[in-house]
Amino acid sequence: MLALGSSSSSSATAADMIQARTYDVFISFRGQDTRDGFVSHLYKDLSRKNIETFKDDEELRKGDEISGALLTAIQGSRVSVIVFSKDYASSKWCLAELVKIMECNKWVVPVFYGVDPRDVRNQTGSFADAFAKHEENFKHELEKVKAWRSALAAAGKLSGWDSQVTRPESRLIDEIVNDILKKLNRGTSNAYLKGLVGIERRMEQVMSLIQVGFPDVRWLGIWGMGGTGKTTLAEAIFHHIANGFQSCYFLANVRESEEHGRLFQLRQEFLSTIMEDKILNISTPTVGAGFLKDRLSRKMVLIVCDDVSNSSQLEFLFKGINQLCPGSRVIVTTRNKQVLIQNDIHLIYEMEKLDEYESFQLFCQRAFKSNYATGYRLELSKKVLSVADGNPLAIKVVGSSLYGKDKTYQESTVKKLKQGRTETM
């Protein structure tokens, strides 16, 4: 998280840092109204959720124009929170930020903090007083003042949060953070799913089983042979729902971790992250079990255990901490259905093979960087898919191996596959 300095000597460094990064959230606010109270608490809660947030520094507001660093921060942020307070409109820098925010046409979350949304929309009340001064001070730049008014009118019409309606302030902040999380999650999920053939249908099927939001604890198994996309599906679900939980962790490659003697380390990393305790040190699975059980029983968590090959791995990872907070979800991916049965995991999603259309689309993407094929490429596709039998990993491996190769090489490789020489698979 970027902590901007308060001295002029550190401002140049801060500006340089801004140039090199993007943010999840940009907060526009009037410092003297809300910096040490509402905005400070909002910023803290966003940080706790690991949301990269830019809270502008007064030192970056120098001269008559908005600084390049602030412009960059606004352009690079996915969501802008505008905290309209009594004296917001008296600041030319706040108004310049607002104009830029509205120009960017990204998600905007207005917060009407102690002001009537109608005063923002119509520039009445304290906003009228501020504009009377602006029109005097900027009488030779009335187009600028007009742009400020237009931006206020547009922002004031957006659906937002009213501090006089949503109370107390702690609840208001919780609601705003959840609103932001939903917006960020929507964008992240869409970006992550891009190019994943057939994933959305399978996600819908899994979501209908785990039913996030129900107040019980649910364990779900995703079971299937190697290469069928269990990990990809679990990752997609994790990205899609993670923001709805107080803490989340994805335990990747459990089988491999045990084979390399890293299972204890994996458990340590998992617990320290899920408990948000960097100095947590549990020397054995039984030490501190009661303490962990008590803390986890009050924290709604999402946990994914990927590629679990035997029951003892789950028993080790969850030793003494199997009593989770209502609403928590645990997803286990495995090739071995007995792992799920032996751990009383009754919700089981069996991975489906890709259907004919999905297989064709995935192969074309990998082999030809296209969604379709004609001529000899179509015949080539049919031959590969008859051998791959809907296995996503096999299709991706073979398709990638054929990309950019000449026709002779491609046909020779496919002929070997058809003859049973499946080393490439």
Question: Taking a C-beta distance cutoff of 8 angstroms, is the pair 307, 334 a contact?
Answer: yes
- The residues, ordered by sequence, that sit 6+ positions from 318 with a Cβ below 8 Å of its Cβ are none
Residue 109: phi and psi, rounded to 5, are: -120, 100
176: number of CA atoms within 13 Å, CB side? 34
- DSSP code for 403: T
Q: Which two tokens stand for residue 237?
A: 């679900």
10 Å CB burial of residue 71 (0-12, 13-18, 19+) is middle
Determine which one of 59, 97, 235, 258 is catalytic. 97
Q: How far apart are CA 323 and CA 294, in angstroms?
A: 8
Question: Taking a C-beta distance cutoff of 8 angstroms, is the pair 412, 376 a contact?
Answer: no
97 is catalytic: yes
Residue 419: phi and psi, rounded to 5, are: -85, 0
* Helix H or strand E encompassing 222: strand 218-223
Beta bridge partners of 220: 331, 347
Q: Which residues are catalytic?
A: 97
